[in-house]
Structure 1
Amino acid sequence: MRLFIGIPLPGEYAQIIRQIQAAWKKRLASKVSWVRPELAHVTLRFLGEVDEDKVPVIVQAMQDAARGSFAAQGGAGGFFPAVGAPRVIWIGLRQGREECAAYFEKLDGGLAQAGFSAEQKPFSPHLTVARVKAAARNDEWSGLLVDLKRDWPAFTVSHVVLWQSILKPSGPEYRRVAEVGLAGRS
């Protein structure tokens, strides 16, 4: 099973992302693979291929990391990498960054104790809007950044989800494997 842990987003985010994508699909000459808006989420930890019998220890690590629900809100966007041709177009968090980072740290430690490798990249909570397959020189990347900086709606992060990512020619499909509430801990 190809698994990842993430935060689901409210439906308003899918609507706004759909509007941004509709506006920019026509304006960019770059070859861009746009994320289906209804699949947008904040990834906390990508696990990759995992045997199904490991799901209970993953869920336990998710539960152990829970320290209460928290408020979150989208913020300005950006690109990975920060310099050079963009490969990923993303939206960051204006609110909830510290809480996401604290949850990630506890989660990553719990997963390491369960035998998973610790994450090597620095944690940066974001939601991916698109992946750039081939960047065109004269695209208006700065204009896209301005458009990503919106008044994103605030929402409460009350649970995290363990998703299975099923890769298909038409794009990935996500299946919820487990959901862990955050409000029960303090």
Structure 2
Amino acid sequence: MDKRLFIAANISEQTRSLIRAIQSDLHFMKNDIRFVSPQNIHLTLKFLGDVPVKQISQIVTKIESSISSFQNFTYICDGTGVFPNPNRPRVLWLGITDGSENLKKLSELLNIALNNMPVQQEDKEYRSHITLGRAKGFKESRLKLNEFLNYQFEKIANPVTELVLFESILRPKGAIYTPLHRFKLK
């Protein structure tokens, strides 16, 4: 039996409130965007994919070892954007400024630690962001996308004191994320 897993940093309640406000302000985009439920919002560091249950304890040990000396830090949410580009938006995100290098370093440490494990390997460079929603297609106007890209808000600090190994169970009404293990930073 396999479990679909990922490793993430949680977000602050202030950031979660901001995301609710953004989604509320952009409710007119609901036909074009499938917004992520605010309680499911997180900052992914590594997607592991479908992992055999018998391997999870070994993965936990490798993660603990790889980040054991990593210090707590803070990242800043600032700005909005899309992947892959504004002409073909698929993912709408909240940007990360200060602290993004620490997030990238954590992602690299996790990739190295889990390199020989039965997990999905990344083929692209890590880019710090918080996914807000996925585009179904902007059928009407580019003005909707521009309103999102120009959305203004105050920068928000998010302390990172732990990482979380989550199980993701996909359901027709949306994914359910269950924390399996927490990894404290120093």
Distance, in Å, in 2 between the alignment partners of 1:117 and 1:154 is: 30
> What TM-score do the two structures reach when normalised by structure 2?
0.90
Task: State the Cα distance separating 1:13 from its structure 2 match.
Answer: 1.4
1:8 and 2:6 aligned = no
Identical aligned residues as a percent:
28
Shift of 1:62: 2.0
Report the counterpart of residue 160 of structure 1 in structure 2: 163
2:78–2:156 contact (8 Å) kept in structure 1: no
Q: What does residue 21 of structure 2 align with?
A: 19
Which digits, 9 at most, give the CA deviation of each residue in 1:65-121, with x for residues without a partner?
321111111111110112422111001211110001111111100100334353102
Gaps spanning 5+ residues in structure 1: where?
A: none
CA deviation digits over 1:41-70, x for unaligned, max 9? Answer: 110011111111111122123222321111
Any conservation in 2 of the 1:39–1:174 contact (CA below 8 Å)?
Answer: yes
Alignment length (residue pairs) = 181
Check the 8 A contact 1:30/1:132 in 2, yes or no: no
User: Aligned partners of 2:85, 2:31: CA distance in 1, in Å?
Assistant: 17
Specify the alignment match of 2:173 in structure 1: 170
Question: TM (normalized to structure 1)?
Answer: 0.90
Match of 1:76 in 2: 79
Aligned to 2:65: 64
Match of 2:46 in 1: 45
Distance in 2, Cα, partners of 1:115 & 1:83 = 35
Residue aligned with 1:50, SS: strand
Name the residue aligned to 2:94: 91
Cα deviations by residue, 1:135-172 (Å, 9 ceiling, x for unpaired): 2251321221121x422321210000000011112111
Match of 2:106 among 83, 87, 103: 103
Give RMSD over aligned pairs.
1.6
Verify: 1:112 aligned to 2:115, yes or no.
Answer: yes
CA distance in 1 between counterparts of 2:19 and 2:62 reads 31
SS at match of 2:26: helix
* Unaligned residue ranges in structure 2 (runs of 5+): none
| Structure 1 Cα separation of the partners of residues 74 and 113 of structure 2 | 23
The answer to whether structure 1 residue 31 and structure 2 residue 58 are counterparts is: no
